[in-house]
Amino acid sequence: MNGMIGSLFAIGLAGAALAVGTPTPLATLRAPPPMARGDVAYGPDALQHIDLYTVARAERAPLVVYIHGGGWTMGSRGAGGGDKPAHFTTQGYVYGSIGYRFVPQVTVEQQLGDIAAALARLRRDARRYGIDADRIALVGHSSGAHLAAMLATDPRYLNAAGVPFEAVRAVVLIDGAGYNVPAIMAANPAGVMKYYGPAFGPDPARQGALSPDNHVDPPNAPAWLMLYDVNRPGAAVDGEGLAGLLRQAGATVTLSGIADSSHMQLNSNLGRYGDAATRLVDGFLTANLRHDNGFIPIEEAR
């Protein structure tokens, strides 16, 4: 059975309905619909674009949105490519990778506004793109995890863009940064100043206002998965701090350290067959966004 499914996966097929312990005839397996890629502009700047990946389905699908890292000063929505688009669309989602403007052209507050505006753009055309506008997951890597955490703890940015805060059902933070900006800058000023200095400046009040740790009083997104590189100094402490505060505020949080990986590999391997972090993300999204479009997630079919 496992050999058959592995072979089918290798040629791009996914299971339709697998009964536990019962072999599935080849005729009952369906190929996933072909994936289409679109470039969706949500503002006048060249960086204000979304790479959107969709497949044709009878019903609207949850939206998984990727927010790239780059220390708030650089990066590319192309970091959301690789294996991720095919993986998440096959799993039953619409998948988008959001570009946004960088410090010092704009402030971190404006970056949050960019991402909120991108979500508003996708929700506005949800019918066109086959999106269930009220089932959204944010997936952020590195500084993108900071931006995702801010959007999912401080309702002001989504509210300003006309996005209902409760539309964000789930948040995945991948080896994130900046959960408590003043503490991080005080503990290692020389090590973090290259990125934290331009992004957050010298004012402790502003640093605190841009720290997710300080916005965990409800409302928050209800479900969180926080993954971190076990070999990166400070990653566990930073994650445990935010996770504990969110739990105290009533959110469901899973915090997991990933071994045999790195800060960059956690992102580049996401969506890859056999990747440990990908399995955790898949299970989390399945539990919190639900699959009701007739497709079985690939990890469940193995």
Among the residue ranges 38-52, 53-67, 119-133, 164-178, the one predicted with the least confidence is: 53-67
Quote the CA–CA distance of 36 and 64 in Å, as a whole number: 15
Reply yes or no on domain 33-294 having CATH 3.40.50.1820.
yes
Question: pLDDT tier at 58 (50, 70, 90 boundaries)?
Answer: low
Quote the CA–CA distance of 138 and 140 in Å, as a whole number: 6
pLDDT, mean of residues 272-293: 88
What is the reported pLDDT for 31? 63
Question: pLDDT tier at 118 (50, 70, 90 boundaries)?
Answer: very high
Angle at 147 between CA 36 and CA 144, to 5 degrees: 55
Q: Is residue 28 pLDDT above 90, yes or no? A: no
Among the residue ranges 15-19, 176-180, 292-296, the one predicted with the least confidence is: 15-19
What is the reported pLDDT for 32? 63
Which residues in the chain are classed under CATH 3.40.50.1820? Answer: 33-294
Residues in the chain: 302
Angle at 107 between CA 224 and CA 75, to 5 degrees: 65
Among the residue ranges 4-18, 38-52, 149-163, 193-207, the one predicted with the least confidence is: 4-18
Question: How much is the pTM?
Answer: 0.86
Q: Is residue 22 pLDDT above 70, yes or no? A: no
Residue 175 contacts residue 144 (beta carbons within 8 Å): no
Please report how the helices 143-153 and 108-124 are oriented relative to each other, as an axis angle in degrees rounded to 10.
70
Provide the residue type at 191 as one letter.
G
What is the reported pLDDT for 2? 40
What is the reported pLDDT for 121? 98
Task: Assign 125 to helix, strand or coil.
Answer: coil
